[in-house]
Amino acid sequence: MPLEKYGRFSEDGKEFIITRPDTPAPWVNYISNTRYTGLVSHTGGGYSYWVDPRDSRITRHRYNSLPWDRPGRYVYVRETDGEFWSLSWQPVPKELDFYECRHGMGYTTISTRYRDLSGEITYLVPPDDDLEIWRVRLRNLAYEERRLSLFSYVELCLGHALVDLINQPNDQHFNIVTYDHDHKAIYATKNYWVTYREATVKQPNQAWDRYVFFTTSLPIVSREGSKDAFIGKWRSESNPDGVERGMLTDTDITAGDACAALHSEIVLEPREETDFVVLLGCVNADGYRETAYPLIRKYLDLANVESAREGVKRYWESYLSSPIVETPDPNMNLMLNVWAKRQAWVTFNMNRNAGYYHGGLLFGVGMRDSAQDMMGPLLAEPDAVADRLTEVLSHQFADGSTLHNYFKLTGHGEKTGHSDTPLWLPLAIMNYLKETGDFAFLERIVAYQDGGQGTVREHLERAIDYPLSNLTPNHLPKFGPGDWNDTLDYVGRKGIGESVWVAEFLCFILRETADLLDRLGDGNKAAQYCREYDLIADALNTRCWDGEWYIRGTRDDGGVIGSSRNTEGRIFMNAQSWAVISGVAPEDRARRCMDSAYRMLNTERGPQILAPAYRHPDPGVGLATRCVPGKKENGAIFNHVAAWAILGECVLGNGERAYEYHRKTMPMNQAYDPDLYKMEPYVYSEYVTSPEHETFGQASHSWLTGSAVWMLRGGLDYILGARPTYDGLLIDPCVPPAWDGYRITRRFRGAMYEIEVRNPNHVQRGVRRLEVDGREIPGRVLPIAAVGERVGVVCLLG
């Protein structure tokens, strides 16, 4: 069935319009600033949190339960005859006369029509204030007066979400929900707050440091702080007792299951329309009334709500303004101009921490994830990236090792020993320097996790020197408890197994850093890194070439993975793509290994991470062999991996193949059968099930995946070929030969470059002539223009 069964993109591409509520799964959007975040599904489900979804959760969300996608942000409408429904379809799923949901840039609008009442509810978070606004519009389409009771409702979590989930009966003993008659608002908090993992040893002795407020611009008739009282015995959100009775109990609680519900009544004359707002937010617990009340007064004014809506719109217009591409592929334009940028912004701010599939309960902020996610906002908000990079560097230890993940509010995290984690820090630093030219950043002083401090440059070098000091006798990196592929977690736990991919990635980092150090005048350190590069590259080509491709690694028990000697997991894409990206593979091997990957891993929906899938658990490999064959790291079409395959093909000049991978993996192309695909067709999912499983084409783990930022930068930097370097923008397209040309408008260091690429001879790669403002220049690097200048560029391929 075509995608249009459930929805379509708006004409400008900045909204995805869902036209029926019964999608194959919840299709989600994010409303957020950099502190307050709400996940909103197309039926009003989702949850909200402040800064950290585990440690400072505002509302509750239930996972792996039926009905789907409960609870959420609900406005119930009740008529005098007792009939009631919800403006977001859920949680009272009536057969509506009209339904539409518009997921846009920083807002979601759900419109419904039932019983001659038109309802519209828009959810958004202002750029500068920590609350969410529900802007509601009702219109009486009938020719008679309507008396309506309205109930706004959220289920509250209040504090540590994991404790709430696993210890809910006890945790509820500390909930406090009260009504402030002066402010006409519900206030809620928890008098007990866990912020550290030692809670089973040392009892926490603190309250949650936030207060939640909930209010509406309508006069309040009754209200509720007890979920038990609102829902009633043996009921659910679909038939809450409070709504059914038409009156709430005015209950405050000092213990029990918490909610916030407000009841108002309105009269609508025939054809009359009315607007009101509901506010849900949080403030610091100290002086909470004095802090919350100005926010409440501000946003109960509809003029300020409109200003907030315009502020969200202006922010996203600015954020999306560069780069802008015009290629022959409309879907590629849509992803590179809008949705991949949007998704990369979300992954930068939410990490892998707060989604419907990453529930915000366990992992915190990943070091490797953050280092990659920075590549998206770096195009628009380099200052924010510098601040995040400083934060991430502060979780490096003085010896160069790092935490694997951390939690923002506490700074606590896990040191797992993954062999790749430290190496992502140099990548992030050098990406920042190439985009901004801000070499003074290298002198910024940043603390170490275990005490002391060093410059950013010292952090960078220690991140490289640490893995160099832990090579095996073969001069290859130890696999440890996993590398980028966390599910290869038993290949090298004894310190013997070796990761070929980490070796290739380390070589890439060594080469890049040597170039940087040369520019900084440190030829000795640069030379040392070049020698290490040569030694590791030699070991890879001597010991890890399998004849037609590179193996993935060696095991603690002396075996190998990713080899023709294996019956399962014979070839892994990452070991081939990064052999090319790093320059380790000689040209003939580079082409042979990528050809082998194309032949053995490519499918009609994109390349698999490995093949054939493991059919038998292998304790010497780990979790990958226990995943369902064809899913996740066991042979799925892994979009993150596909993005690196695109880079590898571009390095080789294979524009046709690079574009093929890119086109196949775009979400709207994957979702041509949305009932099979299930996930949102406007953002990348982590993986799509491969032909090795009967559900070939089914996706999972949408939104929070590094696939988005690598597809964004792979498309911009490598296929379209406008790539930042220390000296300027490198123009190096690698495109399908059928293309006649395309355009890119890209901001770089304060100047705007308007680039036209022409391909009259229909080649895949090769710059024959490069003009800047009508004059031919030598080479392929555009000179750095003054801030505010507009630069016209014409590139002739041939």
Residue 495, phi then psi, degrees to nearest 5 = 85, 15
For residues 174 and 190, the answer to whether their CB atoms sit within 8 Å is yes
In b/e form, how buried is each residue of 430-459, taking b as 16+ CB within 10 angstroms?
bbbbbbbbeeebbebebbbbeeeebebbbb
Residue 643 sits at the vertex; the CA angle it makes with 637 and 647, to the nearest 5 degrees, is: 135
Assigned token pair, 187 = 């206030």
Longest dimension (CA), the chain: 86
Residues 6+ apart with CB under 8 A from 662: 332, 646, 711, 714, 715, 719
- 755 to each of 216, 379, 452, 735, how far by Cα in Å? 50, 16, 46, 15
Distances (CA, A) of 176 to 153, 233, 252, 608, 678: 17, 21, 8, 51, 39
Instruction: Find where tokens 């609350």 sit.
Output: 131
Q: What stretches of 544-686 show up as alpha helix (H) in DSSP?
A: 573-581, 587-601, 639-651, 655-665, 667-670, 674-677
Residues 6 or more apart in contact with residue 650 via CB below 8 angstroms: 658, 714, 718, 719, 721, 734
Return the sign of the alpha-carbon dihedral for residues 185, 186, 192, 197. Answer: negative
In eight-state DSSP terms, residue 714 is: I
CB 150 within 8 Å of CB 263: yes
CA 223 to chain centre: 37
> Which residues touch 415 (CB under 8 Å, ≥6 apart)?
397, 401, 402, 403, 404
C-alpha distances (whole Å) from 286 to each of 189, 290, 296 are 12, 9, 17
Where does 229-270 show beta strands of DSSP type E?
258-268
Whose CA is closest to 733, among 791, 639, 643, 656? 656
Distance CA 222, CA 250 (A): 6
**Distances, alpha carbon 67 to alpha carbons 23, 70, 74, 173, in Å:** 14, 7, 15, 27
Q: Phi/psi of residue 395, each to 5°?
A: -100, 20
Using CA atoms in the order 625, 629, 630, 633, what is the torsion angle rounded to 10 degrees?
A: -20
The helix or strand, by DSSP H or E, that contains position 427, with its residue range, turns out to be helix 424-436
Question: With the C-alpha atoms ordered 787, 792, 796, 797, is the resulting torsion angle positive or negative?
Answer: positive
Question: One of 130, 486, 546, 618 is an active-site residue; which one?
Answer: 486
CA count, 13 A, side-chain hemisphere, 706: 20
- How big is the CA angle at 150 (ends 147 and 151), to the nearest 5 degrees? 155
Sign for the pseudo-dihedral over CA of 604, 650, 438, 507: positive
Reported residue count of the chain is 798
Distance CA 724, CA 736 (A): 22
Quickly list DSSP for 345-391.
HHHHHHTTTSSSSS-SSS--EEHHHHHHHTTTGGGT-HHHHHHHHHH
Q: Is 486 a catalytic residue?
A: yes
How is 301-358 classified by DSSP, letter by letter?
A: SHHHHHHHHHHHHHHHHHHTTSSEEE-S-HHHHHIIIIIHHHHHHHHHHHTTTSSSSS
Which is nearest to 364 in space by CA: 428, 415, 408?
A: 408
The residues carrying an active-site annotation are 486
